């Protein structure tokens, strides 16, 4: 398929989801070739500047560029089903020559879904070129006719100017106080309030530079890029490999200490915090409730462990399970989103408070971001510690779990600590 050919010119079938009828016109199927290659070294160093895609942790994962196909996912409660069915039809028609036959080989799509199912902006992209390194092997997937993409030096964006997003700091603290009153009234147990910050650079922002800085500073996180949404999330929503799934539940946060003694004391305080332990329990139970109907087996630890990142510490619970046959990674994403860690408990009441008090559309922040291949395997995270990049402009996001005993000043400090991740990526 010629590079850049739109999805509407690629396939022909009728598909009805949530009352929406879509017709796609077929000219020819995707032609996909996957071959083993030598170790490429630094994956980010292989990326051309224009619109890169990435999913990297500890130097392994996927980078991609170019667009063989792109589709805007219509908003609504069935959007994940719509996306799964659309991709299944596309992949079923593809002409595939795959020498690797592993998760992430053959045709695959990157995706980013908005946090709110009613917000537009969810997107799926099948890249023209995908380079993968994992488990001691590397491979290259190409789709359609290839053209040379020049790799240029990374560009620094220059001076960065910041401005308030939807709410000023005092306004956001006021929103936290209002949320606390709602929780104490018994309306809900927990909500999550996000804060945004705007940034304007002297020159267009080179996404590759942000990715390289994030991966170097936060190697234990999943550094991602999809359709302008760039970040380093510590939270793995789900990894599917055959019938096996993994997830990492994070809820309960404290900033890092000023030295080793202070750091250990803060970690101990986090473990001892009744507020943070209860917040974590809510998040774990929401994952248990979502995954139990999909899994033949599900293992969740009785107590959390401590995940220490460069800027903060989290309470963390690794979850593993075995799926029922035929369940795609997008089916799991649909069941899990939004978790209590990014939405609240109970879900509908928490979402109502978010829509009322945040005063903004989160767009892709706290929504699922990741990739899926033709087998239904894939990795999806929650888009945290991230920014939406467009030219010289960036919109940075951070959020905090709000409980009945939350202190607005402390929550603001936590949000600012999380925002520093992307401020570092922009400034170095």
Q: Could you give the residue numbers annotated as active site?
A: 190, 235
Q: Would you list the DSSP string of 87-148?
A: HHHHHHH-EEEESS-STT-SSEEEEE--SSTTSS--EEEE-SEEEEEETTEEEEEEESS---
- 149 three-class SS: coil
* φ and ψ at residue 143, rounded to 5 degrees: -125, 120
Distance from C-alpha of 357 to C-alpha of 183, rounded to nearest angstrom: 13
* φ and ψ at residue 183, rounded to 5 degrees: -65, -45
Q: What is the largest CA-CA distance in the chain?
A: 65
Task: Count Cα neighbours of 236 within 13 Å in the Cβ-side half-sphere.
Answer: 22
At a CB cut-off of 8 Å and minimum separation 6, what does 262 contact? none
Distance from C-alpha of 142 to C-alpha of 119, rounded to nearest angstrom: 32
Residue 404 burial (CB < 10 Å; 0-12/13-18/19+)? middle
Distance from C-alpha of 399 to C-alpha of 351, rounded to nearest angstrom: 14
Residue 252 burial (CB < 10 Å; 0-12/13-18/19+)? buried
DSSP state, 259? Answer: S
Tokens 């709110």 belong to 116
Q: Give Cα separations from 75 to 13, 121, 179, 194, 370 (angstroms).
A: 20, 8, 27, 21, 18
Contacts of 39-43 with C-beta under 8 Å, sequence gap 24+, read: 39/133, 39/138, 40/131, 40/133, 40/138, 43/131, 43/133
Please state whether beta strands 123-126 and 31-36 pair in parallel, antiparallel, or not at all (unpaired): unpaired
Is the separation of the CB atoms in 92 and 84 below 8 Å?
Answer: no
Q: 3-state SS of the chain: helix, strand, coil percent to 5?
A: 30, 35, 35
């Amino acid at each position: 398929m010629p590079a850049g050919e739109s999805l509407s010119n690629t396939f022909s079938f009728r598909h009805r989801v949530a009352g929406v009828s879509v017709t796609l016109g077929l000219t020819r199927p995707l032609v996909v070739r996957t071959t083993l290659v030598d170790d490429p070294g630094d994956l980010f160093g292989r990326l051309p500047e224009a619109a890169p895609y990435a999913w990297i942790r500890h130097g392994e994962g996927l980078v991609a560029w170019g667009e063989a196909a792109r589709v805007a996912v219509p908003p609504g409660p069935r959007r994940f089903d719509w996306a799964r069915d659309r991709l299944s039809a596309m992949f079923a028609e593809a002409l595939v020559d795959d020498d690797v036959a592993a998760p992430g080989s053959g045709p695959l799509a990157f995706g980013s879904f908005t946090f709110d199912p009613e917000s537009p902006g969810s997107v799926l992209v099948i890249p023209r070129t995908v380079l993968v390194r994992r488990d001691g092997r590397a491979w290259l997937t190409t789709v359609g006719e290839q053209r040379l993409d020049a790799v240029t030096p990374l560009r620094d964006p220059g001076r960065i100017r910041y401005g308030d997003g939807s709410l000023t700091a005092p306004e956001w603290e006021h929103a936290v106080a209002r949320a606390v009153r709602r929780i104490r009234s018994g309306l809900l147990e927990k909500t999550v309030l996000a804060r945004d910050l705007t940034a304007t650079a002297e020159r267009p922002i080179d996404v590759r530079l942000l990715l390289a800085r994030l991966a170097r500073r936060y190697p234990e996180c999943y550094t991602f890029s999809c359709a302008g949404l760039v970040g380093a999330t510590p939270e793995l929503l789900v990894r599917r490999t055959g019938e096996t799934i993994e997830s990492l539940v994070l809820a309960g946060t404290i900033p890092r200490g000023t030295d080793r003694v202070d750091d250990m004391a803060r970690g101990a305080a986090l473990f001892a915090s009744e507020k943070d332990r209860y917040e974590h329990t809510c998040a774990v139970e929401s994952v248990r409730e979502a995954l139990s109907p999909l899994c033949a087996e599900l293992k969740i630890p009785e107590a959390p462990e401590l995940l220490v990142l460069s800027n903060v510490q989290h309470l963390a619970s690794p979850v593993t399970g075995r799926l029922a046959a035929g369940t795609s990674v997008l089916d799991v994403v649909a069941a899990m989103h939004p978790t209590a860690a990014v939405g609240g408990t109970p879900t509908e009441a928490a979402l109502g408070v978010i829509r009322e008090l945040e005063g903004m559309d989160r767009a892709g922040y706290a929504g699922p971001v990741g990739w899926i291949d033709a087998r239904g395997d894939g990795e999806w995270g929650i888009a945290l510690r991230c920014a939406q990049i467009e030219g010289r402009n960036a919109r940075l996001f951070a959020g905090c779990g709000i409980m009945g005993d939350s202190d607005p000043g402390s929550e603001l400090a936590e949000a600012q600590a999380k925002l520093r991740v992307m401020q570092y990526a922009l400034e170095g």
